[in-house]
């Protein structure tokens, strides 16, 4: 069945809603003092997660929109690691043993640029300064071109449970157009090394909408990726935002698939992955039915944060490192972006906070509605009233209006549900509940 087009009143370029309010609403009114207060509000035994940002790569991929920089020297990485460990010490001192870390994620950049001894030092610093649950899970983003046996051994020793591998596309022409050479054989060898060391979950990132990409090339990429049997697959649409990431100007915009071609690419990819037995999760993920993310989706426990979809239910995610984002019950905070500013602040005994946003009661209400739309493609009026009381009524009135005017929602079985193709509609309808979107000058990527 062809996709139902978005109603004319819905936008076509919208945020990815990995937070609400979204990052453009962050401001300098959230300071170190704000974050210190939020840290002090964490109670003993409260479940926490940590995100550690390693903003270095040996090669800069032109498609990437992450906060990272290229380096061919290891000295800047080692200096940054000292600052990161010092920040862990600062945060740990403020926590004073409160909270219980259940999930740790290393992201980047390329965390596997770290030498094995520095991987161990980083995890040891966490263990020394924060309280970790016995079953604490470690997830790491792996760059196949910078991983070796010694690094795999170190990660295995540290308890790696989930490895995320960026593939994008195996077509050499596409790889050349985005400056990311990575053969299937290299990727397969890394997966084999992870499996041999007992890592239970391997996740692949695939991307559609890349320059020179065709349905045939993407089919071949997915066919090859499926032979490696990852537990999860993320299928992202390439976001061409050269006004935000200047290195994307290296990509010839004329070589990018147009909107209709992008839709054809994603539909072909989704069909292949689903046919291989993977359960769709949210708008852009797939997981084997036995995977914890698939179980969370089936049970209505799926969540969404700056790392994407997650089965981690904790409300506090502490971001460490330059540009990292923290989520607290009372708001969001982001560290300074540049490594130099970050290092200076940490050396002065300060946190790295640059900006953020404190959450109002209405923010929390709208955040909940948007997260449920992005995760479950529906939400319950009764649930909203139970959680938020009378302030839910204007949002429910808006939902009723959308349901009555072909605005992407329908009222059925005591819920508001997305109509048409929910994976395509979720971001568009979620934007209708975004109180900050109207009048915003921020430019976003295409919703498909």
One domain, residues 391 and 347: no
What pLDDT does 1 receive?
30
- Do 190 and 271 lie in one domain? The reply is yes
Tokens of 284: 């852009």
Give the separation between CA 268 and CA 235, rounded to whole angstroms: 11
State residue 447's pLDDT score.
Answer: 54
pLDDT the model gives residue 252? 86
pLDDT of residue 205: 95
Q: In what order do the strands lie in the sheet with 279-281?
A: 279-281, 285-287, 232-237, 201-208, 160-168, 132-142, 100-108, 47-54, 316-320, 325-328, 331-335, 353-358
CA pair distance 269, 238, nearest whole angstrom: 14
- Separation of CA 358 from chain center: 21
Q: Give a yes or no: residue 16 inside a domain.
A: no
Say whether both 277 and 146 belong to one domain.
yes
Tell me: do 112 and 202 sit in the same domain.
Answer: yes
List the CATH number of the domain containing 70. 3.80.30.20
Domain end, chosen from 323, 342, 358, is at 358
- Domain range spanning residue 417? 361-433
CATH value at residue 410: 1.10.10.920
Residue 439, domain member (yes or no): no
How high is the mean pLDDT of the chain? 92
Contact between residue 317 and residue 308 where contact means Cβ atoms under 8 Å apart:
no
H helix or E strand, kind and range, residue 273: helix 259-275
Beta-strand (E) ranges in 270-404? 279-281, 285-287, 303-305, 308-310, 316-320, 325-328, 331-335, 353-358, 378-379
Which residues does the chain have with pLDDT short of 70? 1-12, 439-448
Residue pair 375/351 in contact (Cβ under 8 Å)? The answer is no
Residue 438 lies in a domain: no
Q: Is residue 265 part of a domain?
A: yes
Instruction: Write down the pLDDT at residue 402.
Output: 97
Residues 118, 229, single domain; the answer is yes
Among 358, 388, 406, the domain-final residue is 358
Cα separation, 384 vs 361, in Å, equals 13
Token pair 């604490």: residue: 136
For residue 137, what pLDDT is reported?
A: 95
Locate 222 and state its tokens.
């997915």
Same domain, 239 and 304: yes
Two structure tokens written together for 321 = 């490192």
The reply to whether 345 and 427 lie within a common domain is no
Query: What's the alpha-carbon Rg for the chain, to the nearest Å?
Result: 21
Same structural domain for residues 314 and 387? no
Pairing state between β 132-142 and 285-287: unpaired
pTM, full prediction: 0.91
């Amino acid at each position: 069945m062809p996709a139902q087009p978005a109603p004319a009143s819905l936008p076509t370029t919208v945020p990815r809603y990995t937070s609400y309010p979204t990052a453009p609403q962050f401001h300098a009114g959230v300071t170190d003092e704000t974050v210190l207060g939020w840290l002090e509000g964490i109670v003993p035994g409260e479940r926490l997660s940590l995100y550690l940002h390693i903003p270095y790569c040996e090669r800069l991929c032109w498609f990437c929109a992450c906060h990272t920089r290229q380096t061919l020297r290891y000295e800047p990485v080692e200096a940054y690691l000292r600052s990161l460990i010092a920040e862990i010490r600062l945060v740990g001192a403020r926590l004073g043993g409160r909270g219980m870390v259940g999930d740790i994620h290393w992201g980047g950049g390329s965390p596997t640029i770290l030498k094995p001894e520095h991987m161990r030092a980083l995890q040891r610093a966490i263990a020394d300064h924060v309280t970790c649950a016995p079953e604490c899970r470690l997830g790491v983003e792996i760059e196949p071109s910078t991983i070796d046996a010694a690094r795999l051994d170190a990660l295995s020793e540290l308890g790696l449970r989930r490895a995320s591998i960026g593939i994008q596309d195996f077509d050499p022409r596409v790889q050349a157009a985005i400056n990311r050479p990575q053969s299937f054989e290299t990727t397969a060898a890394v997966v084999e090394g992870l499996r041999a060391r007992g890592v239970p979950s391997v996740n692949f990132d695939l991307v559609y909408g890349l320059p020179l990409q065709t349905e045939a090339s993407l089919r071949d990429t997915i066919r090859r990726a499926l032979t490696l049997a990852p537990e999860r697959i993320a299928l992202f649409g390439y976001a061409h935002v050269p006004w935000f990431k200047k290195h994307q100007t290296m990509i010839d915009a004329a070589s990018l698939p147009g909107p209709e071609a992008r839709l054809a690419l994603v539909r072909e990819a989704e069909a292949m992955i689903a046919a291989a037995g993977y359960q769709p999760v949210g708008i852009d993920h797939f997981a084997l039915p036995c995977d914890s993310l698939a179980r969370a989706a089936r049970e209505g426990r799926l969540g969404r944060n700056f790392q994407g979809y997650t089965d981690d239910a904790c409300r506090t995610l502490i971001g460490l490192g330059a540009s990292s984002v923290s989520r607290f019950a009372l708001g969001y905070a982001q560290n300074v972006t540049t490594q130099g500013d970050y290092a200076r602040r940490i050396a002065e005994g300060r946190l790295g906070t640059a900006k953020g946003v404190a959450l109002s009661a209405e923010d929390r209400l709208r955040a909940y509605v948007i997260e449920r739309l992005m995760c479950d493609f529906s939400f319950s009026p009764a649930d909203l009233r139970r959680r938020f009381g009378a302030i839910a009524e204007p949002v429910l009135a808006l939902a009723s209006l959308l349901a009555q005017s072909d605005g992407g929602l329908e009222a059925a079985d005591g819920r508001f549900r997305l109509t048409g193709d929910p994976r395509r509609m979720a971001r568009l309808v979620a934007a209708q509940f975004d109180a900050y979107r109207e009048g915003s000058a921020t430019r976003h990527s295409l919703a498909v």
